[in-house]
């Protein structure tokens, strides 16, 4: 009798573990932004030597997050079998560095300080979702840390599919577009002398 009870308990534990870990044999998918656009930082009038990206605690993990805006608009969820290769802030920082820092920066140069505010897949209906990415950017002087300019950016991209893969692709597209907008913003600033450009 005791052996039967232990066997039943073991079977129950295996079943619970299977639910927690996903279908048997399923592998954890790791996503990044893929091939980034071909930027040419050397043509920027403003010299940027450093990009710093910070993120709130709820974005400081590799979880691929989504929100069911049509059902639970205040709740964040994370896909069980899909994650980012690194926390979103690290991926965004890597992309922005490629976009705005010259391959061989000279002396001086401003810092681009970025605060990531939102980075999620948002479902407006069970089969309709979009990527939502928002951040605040500041251009900071090389000496003294004085703020030269600041702007908030927010982008959305429709997801091709209502799943983790569609969300990751849409967020990667939004991030690439946002990097282009940040680059255009910097290019339109009259701050070359203050940044050493």
Beta strands in the chain (DSSP E): 29-31, 48-54, 63-68, 72-84, 110-125, 128-140, 147-158
Task: Find, among 130, 134, 125, 180, the residue nearest to 153 by Cα.
Answer: 134
pLDDT for residue 47: 84
pLDDT of residue 124: 98
Q: Which residues pair with 115 in a beta bridge?
A: 54, 136
Contact 170, 122 (CB under 8 A): no
Show the beta-strand stretches assigned E in 32-109.
Answer: 48-54, 63-68, 72-84
**Which residues of the chain are under the pLDDT cut of 50?**
1-2, 4-24
Among 115, 101, 107, 102, smallest CA distance to 150 is for: 115
Handedness of CA 44, 151, 137, 62 (dihedral sign): negative
**pLDDT on residue 134:** 98
Q: For residues 155 and 119, is the Cβ–Cβ distance under 8 A?
A: no
Q: How far is CA 30 from CA 23, 63, 86, 87, in A?
A: 17, 10, 9, 11
Position 193 scores a pLDDT of 58
User: 80-92 burial, b if ≥16 CB within 10 A, otherwise e?
Assistant: bebbbeebbbbbb
Query: What's the pLDDT score for residue 188?
Result: 87
Given a contact cutoff of 8 angstroms between Cβ atoms, the answer to whether 149 and 123 are in contact is: no
Which class is domain 28-195?
Answer: alpha beta
Q: How far is CA 96 from CA 15, 19, 124, 183, in A?
A: 44, 38, 29, 8
pLDDT digit string, tens, across residues 131-170 = 999 999 999 988 878 899 999 999 999 999 999 999 999 9
Are 154 and 134 spatial neighbours (Cβ–Cβ below 8 Å)?
A: yes
Task: Report pTM.
Answer: 0.82
Pairing verdict, β 48-54 and 128-140 = unpaired
């Amino acid at each position: 009798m005791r052996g039967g009870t232990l066997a039943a308990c073991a079977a129950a534990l295996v079943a619970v573990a299977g639910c927690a870990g996903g279908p048997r044999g399923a592998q954890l998918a790791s996503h990044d932004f893929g091939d980034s656009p071909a930027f040419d930082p050397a043509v920027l009038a403003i010299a940027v030597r450093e990009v710093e990206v910070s993120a709130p605690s709820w974005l400081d993990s590799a979880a691929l997050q989504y929100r069911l805006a049509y059902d639970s608009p205040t709740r964040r969820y994370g896909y069980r079998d899909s994650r980012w290769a690194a926390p979103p802030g690290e991926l965004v920082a890597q992309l922005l560095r490629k976009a705005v820092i010259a391959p061989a920066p000279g002396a001086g140069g401003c810092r681009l300080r970025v605060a990531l505010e939102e980075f999620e897949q948002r479902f407006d209906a069970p089969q309709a979702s979009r990527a939502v990415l928002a951040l605040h950017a500041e251009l900071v002087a090389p000496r003294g840390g004085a703020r030269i300019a600041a702007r908030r950016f927010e982008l959305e991209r429709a997801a091709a599919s209502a799943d983790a893969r569609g969300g990751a692709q849409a967020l990667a597209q939004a991030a690439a577009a946002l990097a282009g907008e940040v680059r255009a913003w910097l290019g339109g600033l009259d701050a070359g002398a203050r940044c050493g450009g």
